[in-house]
Structure 1
Amino acid sequence: MSSPLPCHARVHYSYSILLSATLAKICTAPGQSPGIGVVVPFLLADASLELTNTALTLIYLLATSLSALLLPFFGSLVSSRGVRLPAAGASLGLSLSCFLLAACASRPALFLAFFCLRFFGQGCLFTVAVTAINGWWVKKRGRAMGAAGAAVSAVMLGLLPLLLRRLIGDGGWRHA
C-alpha cells in the first residue's frame, strides 16, 4: 500500500509533540502570573470580595506556596504513568479552576480558586508539557525547549494580556 505523501514530505512525530506541548504551555496562562495579574485590579475593585491589596497578595502567596508543595507528587505520577492521563486530568482541573474563579464570592473561595489555578495550570499542565518535550527531544532538546519557550512568551506576555483586557472590557472579569 502506498503512502499518500512521498517519504521526504513526512514530518517526524516529535514535531507534533513539540506543537502540542507548546499549545499546552500556552493554555496554562490562566494559572500563570501574567494571566492572574491582569485580573488583580478587577478583583480588588469587586465590592463583593472586600479585598485589600495586602489580603489579595497574601491569599495568592499562600495558594501558590501550597500548590508548589504538592507538585512533586504530581511529578511522580507523570513519571510513573506517562503524560497522557495526567495531561487530561490537569486540563480538566484547569478548566474547572477557571469556573471556580469566576464564581468565587469570598476569600476562602478565592484562595481555593488561586490554589487550583496555580496547581493545575502553572504547575501540573506545565509539567506535563515540559516532560513531553523532554521525552521526545534528546539531541536537540535545547532547541526544542527554546522554540517552545519563545512561542509561549510571545503569547503569554504579549497577546494574552491584551486579549484578557478586551474580554474583561466586553463582559467583566468573571466572564473573561
Structure 2
Amino acid sequence: MQKKIALKLNQYGFYGWFILFLSAIAMFFSSPGQTYSISVFIDSYILEFGYSRTLISSIYSMATVLSGILMIFVGKAVDHFGSRFMLVTVGILLTLTAFFNSFVANIPMIFVGFFLLRFLGQGSLTLIPASLVPQWFDKRRALAISLLSLGTIFGNLLVPAFNLHMINTYGWSNAWRSWGLLLLFVLVPLMWFFIVNKPEDIGLLPDNKARTDNLTADQVFDAMAKKSFSLSEALRTKEFWFVGIISMIIPMVTTGMMFHFFSLMASKGIPESSAAFVIGLVALPGFLIPVIAGTIIDKYRSKHILMMTLGLLTLDLLFMLKVQTVIEASIFILIYGLVTNVQNVTTNVIWVRYFGRLHLGSIRGAATVFMVIGSAFGTIPFGLSYDLTGDYQAVFIVMALATILGMIMALFIKKPVK
C-alpha cells in the first residue's frame, strides 16, 4: 500500500524529498535515547532513589558501550529486512521502552532502561534514517544528509525544555509515558504508511533521474552490486578503519566537553548563567549546513574537506586554552558547531560514496560502533585532566593532537576500488 501512496505523491514532486522529511522526523524521535534528553531525568532519579551521580553516570556509560557494540547487527538487519520494517519495529520497541522507563525502581532496571534507550533511540533511530536517505539521492546527497540532521538539531533545541516541563508538571514517570504515546501514535504510523526502502522499488532512480534503459529489477540490482562493497570487503580497506577512527574524534570531544561544560566554563571564570547561554549556541551553525553542503561537500573531494575541518578543529581546540571571556567562549562554540557539523555530514557522505548503496546498512552499523564508543569514553579524559591538574588545559592539548592524527589519516584515504 505504501508503494501506491508513494507513486501517487511522486506526481507532485520527487518522493525522495518526502522520504527525507520522514527520516528527519525519525531522527527527531531518536530524542528519548539522546543524552540531551536523558540528562533531564537524571536529577529526578537521584532525588527519587538516592543514587550518586557517579553511579548513574557509570551505568549510563556501560549501557552506551553495549548498545554501540550491537549496532553492527542493526545495520545487517537494515540490509536484510529493509528500512521500513526496521523503522516500524524500532518505533514499537522504543514505545515499549519509554513505558518501561516510567516504572524503573532500582539500578538493574535503570541500566536496562538506559541500554534500550541508547540502543533503540540514539543508535538505531539515527543509523536507519542515515542509511535510508542516501538510497534516494546521488548528486544532492550531501544536501539531503545535511537536511536530515535538522531532525537532531530541532530535537536538541526543543526536547530538553519539553522534558523539563513534563517532569515539573506531571512527574518523571508521566514524562516517559508521554514519549511512549507520541512514538506510538506519530512515529510508527508515519513509518508504516509512507516509507519506501529505495527509489527502484517504485520504478524511480536516485535524484528522480530519468530511466534511459530497459533494465529489469534483477539487472538494476546486479549493476548496484558491482559498485557496492560488502561489509567484509569494506573491512579489508584502510579507508573503513581510517574514516572510522576519524569519526570517533568529534563524539569523544563533544560528549566529554558537554558533560563537563559548566565546570569548564567555571575554570575560565565564566558564570553559570553565561555558560547556559554559550552552550546553546552550538546548535546554531547546523542551520547553515544545507547551504554549505550544496556548495562545498557535494562538489569537492571528501578527504580534502575532512583535512580542512580537522585542521580548523585543531586550531579551535587550542584557542580554548586562551578563552577567558563570554565572547571568546561564544566564538569557540560557534566555530566548533560549524566545523563538527560539516565533518559529520562529510563522513556520512563518505560511507555511501566510497562503499556503495547495496550493503550500506551493514557498513553504517559497523561504523556506528566507532562513534558510540568515542561518545561513551569521552568523559573520562576530561575528568582525569581536571582531577590531576585542576583544570581542562591538558585535555584540550591531547584532543588537538588527536585531531592532528585524524588529519594525517585523512591525507591517506581515497575512494577504494572493488
User: Cα offset for 1:160?
Assistant: 1.1
The match for 1:125 is: 125
User: Cα offset for 1:23?
Assistant: 0.1
Q: Distance in 2 between matches of 1:152 and 1:117?
A: 16
User: Cα offset for 1:50?
Assistant: 3.0
Which structure's relative contact order is higher, taking Cα pairs within 8 Å and 6+ residues apart?
Answer: 1
Bigger mean CA deviation after superposition, 100-109 or 133-142: 133-142
TM-score by length of 2: 0.39
RMSD: 1.2
Alpha carbons 2:46, 2:53 under 8 Å: kept: yes
SS at structure 1 position matched to 2:138: coil
User: Cα offset for 1:10?
Assistant: 1.6
Q: Distance in 1 between matches of 2:107 and 2:139?
A: 47
The answer to whether residue 15 in structure 2 is matched with residue 16 in structure 1 is no
The match for 2:282 is: none
SS at structure 1 position matched to 2:159: helix
- The amino acid of 2:44's aligned partner reads F
Bigger mean CA deviation after superposition, 131-140 or 26-35: 131-140
Q: Distance in 2 between matches of 1:60 and 1:151?
A: 24
CA deviation map 1:72-102 (0-9, x unaligned)? 0110110122101111111111111111111
The answer to whether residue 163 in structure 2 is matched with residue 164 in structure 1 is yes
Q: Distance in 2 between matches of 1:36 and 1:147?
A: 24
Alpha carbons 2:27, 2:151 under 8 Å: kept: no
The answer to whether residue 92 in structure 2 is matched with residue 92 in structure 1 is yes
- The amino acid of 1:67's aligned partner reads S
Count of residues paired in the alignment: 165
SS at structure 1 position matched to 2:149: helix
TM-score by length of 1: 0.90
The match for 2:248 is: none
Identity rate, percent: 28
User: Cα offset for 1:151?
Assistant: 4.0
Q: Distance in 2 between matches of 1:150 and 1:84?
A: 21
User: Cα offset for 1:152?
Assistant: 2.4
The match for 2:114 is: 114
CA deviation map 1:15-58 (0-9, x unaligned)? 11000000000001000111101111111111xx3310010001
The match for 1:150 is: 150
The match for 1:6 is: none
Q: Distance in 2 between matches of 1:152 and 1:116?
A: 19
- The amino acid of 2:86's aligned partner reads P
Q: Distance in 2 between matches of 1:32 and 1:148?
A: 16
- The amino acid of 2:157's aligned partner reads G
SS at structure 2 position matched to 1:103: coil
User: Cα offset for 1:150?
Assistant: 2.8
Structure 1 unaligned segments of length 5 or more: list them: 1-8
